[in-house]
Structure 1
């Protein structure tokens, strides 16, 4: 997603095979946990790391959307929709994730303006902000299973477990199907709020 030439080539090949696009689901997520100023090394976060996260999560998503829109305009389907995956970090960012939080907040901020821009073509734009969901990435690089369970007990979720991928998919299907959902960001976090640490 961060390689604009690869994105263009993908949509070129897609258009040759399919001619139109009804739904676009963006799920880019590059997480780099690092403070803007590292106390141990007494150095600021390298700009390259900030650019890499922004390029993948925000600019890359914009690039995919701008390449997809012409194909979506051609579609005669009545339920055309773009769904961007944001994050509860866009609202409840934690220490060491200011760059990630900013990249995901950018996706939240683009939702309503894009929905207004694309309404004339019958294309809806929504975003989903998942909380903590079961993924290999979360359990390998961020927390261990026991740490996750302890953390979930402290953030006052209605269910003390990670979200299931099937629950995310169910919401995506609902957003695709329900034409009244447009220009909104939906939190999918069981009411949990990330704890500042």
Structure 2
């Protein structure tokens, strides 16, 4: 799969991992459709120039995401949508029982699952339907879907029942989706980032962030968004990467 002159849809593109991926692919010569609820996605698209389009959408909405995919297909002209990098999601922390003995909020749990897991399925199903119509490239493939999981899918911490469950679901969908979509020559991969410098990380105290960075074996720091983008590009390029979840975490194992 080539990047230059191909079209990719990126969710969560207003900041963090999604924005870095959009910038990297655009720099490599791709056309990009940037999806996010945040209005900053429009600013990024304007900065990237003619190769970029912004689409303010909710990833859990079938209608809104269909509009985004229609935009991507139109932008791709006759080649069709080449790939999706799905980075949108939320982080949530809630103990099953709080200090006063109250149970966790059920609506909060359902919201995390709905955005992180149902939202991923929504993006993945629409991406697959769009890519299945493509004429195969010289490599024989029609497209690639890259989802974002988390090391919390494997090493969930206290208070992460909802977040870990949602990301474990993303991991669990990877292989069956790759097997199913193989008949359409569409690959499915997932990246499980560790602790990264993103807007979500900025919400925790500096002391906690420093402790997390110190826990990374090497390099002993938080991951950088551009390193996620670099891996996403490598997955796009390498046709043998399929049905797998890659931990991008510097070797950290959460306790």
What's the TM-score once normalised by structure 1's chain length? 0.90
Cross-structure match for 1:115: 178
Q: Distance in 2 between the 1:143 and 1:179 partners?
A: 40
Name which of 123, 126, 133 aligns with 1:64: 123
Query: How far apart in 2 are the matches of 1:16 and 1:165?
Result: 29
Are 2:73 and 1:28 aligned?
A: no
Per-residue deviation, 1:143:
3.0
Q: Find the aligned partners of 1:147 and 1:100 in 2 and give their Cα distance.
A: 18
- RMSD value, Cα: 1.6
Give the distance between the partners of 2:216 and 2:192, measured in 1 at CA.
17
5+ long unaligned stretches in structure 2? 1-58
User: 1:14 and 1:168 mapped to 2: Cα distance?
Assistant: 22
Work out whether residues 112 and 183 of structure 1, in 8 Å CA contact, stay in contact via their aligned partners in 2. Answer: yes
Match of 1:143 in 2: 205
- Distance in 1 between the 2:168 and 2:210 partners? 26
> Whose helix proportion is higher, 1 or 2?
1
TM-score, length-scaled by structure 2: 0.71
Aligned length: 191
User: Is contact 2:195–2:212 with CA below 8 Å preserved after alignment?
Assistant: no
Matched with 1:90 is: 153
What residue in structure 1 maps to residue 110 of structure 2? 51
Q: How many Å apart are 1:8 and its aligned residue? A: 2.4
- Asked if 1:4 corresponds to 2:62, the answer is yes
Dislocated runs of 4+, deviation >3 Å: 12-19
1:21-74 CA-to-partner distances (Å, cap 9, x unmatched) read: 11111112211111122232x222222111110111000110111111121112
TM-fit CA distance, 1:193: 1.0
Q: Distance in 2 between matches of 1:85 and 1:52?
A: 17
Q: Which structure would you say has the larger RCO, counting Cα contacts within 8 Å and 6 or more residues apart?
A: 1
CA contact (8 A) 2:91 2:200 kept: no
Alpha-carbon distance between aligned partners in 2 of 1:161 and 1:63, rounded to the nearest angstrom: 34
